[in-house]
Amino acid sequence: MFDLADKIALVTGASRGIGLAIAQQLAQAGALVICVSRTPSAIEKAAADINAAGFKAEAFTCDVSQLQSVDKLVKSLIERHGRIDILVNNAGITRDTLLLRMSEDDWDTVLNINLKGAFNCVKSVTRPMMKQRSGRIINISSIVGLIGNAGQVNYAASKAGLIGLTKAAAKELAARGITVNCIAPGYIETDMTTNLPEKSRETLLKQIPLGRIGKAQDIAVMVHFLASDEANYITGQTFTVDGGMVMN
């Protein structure tokens, strides 16, 4: 069940945190994972570790906010492997500050990576996936895109935008056998969240019914399921994986 043997999976932001856990999970399920991030040494290490563990991965340096670079990468992957079965739009950043202090650059940079980056990747894989008449696209949003958060108007807007992108693309691509879904993680222990003061951490824990901060692996298993053939009747959905913080 949920076997990904011979699938080609492109995972952005795969050098650490949630993206690395996703890359490892998909590789363990049998996929050849194309690991992408901006830092050559980090992404090469991520792929090398997966290969050393006996699974399959390749590393590529690419800034997802640059459409030309993404397009070039996808074209080279198609030449090399003939197909892309799974795209996971995970690359993301924060530039938190209160609205009054937020600069235009804080806004543009976060939107360009988190939202336009996903658009760039979806746009580039759409043609090959349409030709294949199959594909799985999984976007990593955030519960902040559903409920908002003070100090994160740029991030919240980018993550809410991903949910809209998911629904529109799901409707557009359904007839070609391509599913598009979204995962909205809650608070997950990664580099992005390590600097939280102890007091804020305690307050946060009180808001999580399951009583613990999430692990990157908690997100990776959901991606694995949505990427599988078994998830073929699910599209346009947003799944919160957050210990019960947001209940729909």
Ligand X SMILES: NC(=O)c1ccc[n+]([C@@H]2O[C@H](COP(=O)([O-])OP(=O)(O)OC[C@H]3O[C@@H](n4cnc5c(N)ncnc54)[C@H](OP(=O)(O)O)[C@@H]3O)[C@@H](O)[C@H]2O)c1
Q: Name the residues that contact ligand X, by CB under 6 A.
A: 12-13, 15-19, 36-39, 42, 63-65, 90-93, 113, 117, 140, 142, 185, 187-188, 190-193
Question: How far apart are the C-alpha atoms of 128 and 134, rounded to whole Å?
Answer: 9
The answer to whether 207 and 245 have CB atoms below 8 angstroms apart is: yes
Compute CA distances 137 → 26, 167, 204, 210, whole Å.
14, 11, 30, 28
* 187: annotated active-site residue: no
Nearest distance from C-beta of residue 133 to ligand X, angstroms: 28
Q: Which of 25, 6, 17 is nearest to 226 (CA)?
A: 25
Cβ closer to ligand X: 123 or 176?
123
Catalytic residue of the set 155, 157, 165, 181: 155
Beta strands in 91-172 (DSSP E): 135-140
The answer to whether 34 and 10 have CB atoms below 8 angstroms apart is: yes
Question: How far apart are the C-alpha atoms of 143 and 116, rounded to whole Å?
Answer: 19
The answer to whether 124 and 168 have CB atoms below 8 angstroms apart is: no
The answer to whether 91 and 64 have CB atoms below 8 angstroms apart is: yes
Compute CA 210 distance to the chain's CA centroid, rounded to the nearest angstrom: 23
Cβ closer to ligand X: 78 or 93?
93
Question: How far apart are the C-alpha atoms of 8 and 20, rounded to whole Å?
Answer: 16
Beta strands in the chain (DSSP E): 8-12, 32-37, 56-61, 86-89, 135-140, 178-185, 238-241
Cβ closer to ligand X: 39 or 207?
39
Residues identified as active-site: 155
